[in-house]
Structure 1
Amino acid sequence: MSDKIYFNTSKKFSFKKRLVNLTTRTHHKLAPNHAKNIAKKLLLTPVRSKPKNAQPDGLVVADVVTPEGVLKTYRLGQGPVWILTHGWSGTASQFFPLMAHIAQQGFTALAYDHPAHGESEGQYGHIPAFVGGLEGLLDSEDDVAGLVGHSMGTAAALECKHAKLVDKPLLLIAPVLDYVDNLFGSVARSGYSMRLFEAVVGDIEDQYRYPIQSIDPFQKLSRRQAETIIVHDEKDKFTKYDVSEKASKEMERVTLVTTQGQGHGRVMQCQEAKDSFNRLLINMPAHMS
């Protein structure tokens, strides 16, 4: 259900939007605790999508224990590890075609389902949980070469402070670099009570000691010293291409590759993504390649 809110980009007047706003505001006023519990289920529960692609030959499926529960992992190939982190309501299976390409270049491609996604444990999904799951996965790997992220997975990767990612190259596909504005804007467009949404956010902030206003993927990207390539479709309806363009113009180590007609999802397996991965390999230190 929550993907219908987060992926709502319509700016047109809607009677349904007005009704949602009135209903959620009234519910929050009359029964605040009950309203928050319902809102958590609605706003923080991703769709557990079915696999998007067939499993490639040689894929090893396993579990890894993290602070966010047991996450399902998918490993392909041999050599230094590239972590692949998907977006909201996505699954690791979206990366299978790109993982096959990475494995062919002499690396291990390691994707996983985020908490509350795919086959992983967890009830709620949000950035603190995404970051916690990624950190747990990184703790279990000794030879990390880089990271590929998509959509909300890119925000989690940039927010992650794990030492194994500090100096590693990134391939960011359809990134959400303006995470907080994107999130609040999407909920506002849905008509949902912003006061109720802020109450839900406040509970997550308190639980994880993770202020939402500290989440700033754009700023975190600007501080990175390692190379980053962004692959973004010019007509992406869910994450803003112009923010990626701004990053590439203002940040010396960030390169933008623009695609046409790939949208927000297909871009994950397009030729430009594969070519961009190959380009990152050229400048990698010898011991990592």
Structure 2
Amino acid sequence: MSSKIYFGKNKRFSFRRSALSIASRLHHRIAPKHALKTARRIFLTPAKGKENNAAPTSMVIKAVDTSEGKMMTYQLGSGPVWLLTHGWSGSANQFFPLMEHIAQAGYTALAYDHPGHGKSEGKEGSIPAFLNALDGILIHQDEIEGVIAHSMGGATLLESDHVCLHGKPIILVAPVLKYWENLFGTVEASGYSMKLFHAVVEDVGKRYNTTIESIDPFEKLAQRQSPITIVHDRGDKFAPFSVSELATEFSHVSLVATEGLGHGRVLKSDPLKEAFLRIADKA
């Protein structure tokens, strides 16, 4: 599904939204099992994004086995490893230009496609699935130097307590730090049955033996001990810049504000490349 239902801001009334509300509630009442199956497809199926960046000729591409299936990984360069993790409806392809920059600086850039994204296996995505994939990638690394995470990939990263991440610098790009506040508010505004949406959340929680609503990236960010740099565009339409500003109340968090780059183009930006070099020099 498009990122708009997860991170949209349009809360104005519309006939289409009202009709969706009636239809989804009626569907849930008449055929609850089929309605849940349909809702899972709507909320857990990422949209396939365009892969516009050509892979560098020296990039090593291979599949890695995880509990979520085979995740496709992309490695470039040599030296200490910087891990890159993308967001909802994204893919590792978004990082290719940044990976070249990291490799040229004397590091290994390692990115991967999350479940149901890019060329990885799986049809559904969720933060628990993302977490399993992340841990499945990290288990193959003796050590990493740091992490760069985009959007929902940042929310996932902050939830992970993998030993490889302890004390490592993190760059969050356009992070969704108030994840559930964003998600629940947007789904409610869409008109979709909240009862049915909660049923999907509960279903995912049962599958992964977790309470999904307990996921709180902002709180996990506050608890981190390692230095965190946020690179975020003031005009981001999907992830509120104001929340990243709020995060600077924590002494270990710094913010690099950009202009006119939105939610995605910031991944190719000079401010992000410069932020990486500053942090890499200190690591």
Query: Which secondary structure state, in structure 2, belongs to the residue aligned with residue 132 of structure 1?
Result: helix
Post-superposition offset of 1:138: 0.1
Letter matched to residue 156 of structure 2? A
Q: 2:130 — aligned with what?
A: 130
CA deviations on 1:165-213 (whole Å, 9 max, x unpaired) are: 0211001000001111111112112111110000010011111112122
Residue of structure 1 equivalent to 2:263: 264
* Structure 1 position 7, deviation (Å): 4.0
Partner residue of 2:165? 165
In structure 1, the residue matched to 2:272 is 273
Match of 1:176 in 2: 176
Q: Residue in 2 aligned with 1:255?
A: 254
**For residue 18 of structure 1, what is the amino acid of its counterpart?**
S
The aligned length equals 283
Q: How much has 1:4 moved relative to structure 2?
A: 4.1
Asked whether the 8 Å contact 1:50–1:118 carries over to 2, the reply is: no
Question: Is the CA contact 1:2–1:42 (under 8 Å) kept in the aligned structure 2?
Answer: no
- Structure 1 unpaired stretches of 5+: 285-289
TM-score normalized by the length of structure 1 = 0.96
Mapping of residues 11-50 of structure 1, within 5 Å: 11-50=11-50
SS state at 1:144 partner = coil
State the AA in 2 paired with 1:233: D
Structure 2 equivalent of residue 203 of structure 1: 203
Instruction: Give the CA deviation at 1:123.
Output: 1.1
Conserved in 1, the CA contact under 8 Å of 2:95 and 2:111? yes
1:2–1:43: 8 Å Cα contact kept in structure 2? no
CA–CA distance in structure 1, aligned partners of residues 7 and 252 of structure 2 = 30
CA contact (8 A) 2:7 2:182 kept: no
Q: Which consecutive unaligned segments of at least 5 residues does structure 2 have?
A: none
In the TM superposition, structure 1's runs of 4+ consecutive aligned residues that sit over 4 Å from their partners are none
Amino acid aligned to 1:27: H
Corresponding letter in the other structure for 2:139:
D
- Aligned 8 A contact 2:4 2:238 in 1: no
Deviation at 1:142, TM superposition (A): 1.4
Match of 1:287 in 2: none
Give the match's secondary structure for 1:180. helix
TM-score, length basis structure 2: 0.98
| Partner SS for 2:64 | strand
Cα RMSD between the aligned structures? 1.0
Q: Which amino acid aligns with 1:175?
A: P
Letter in 1 for 2:217: P
1:283, distance to aligned residue in structure 2 (A) = 2.2
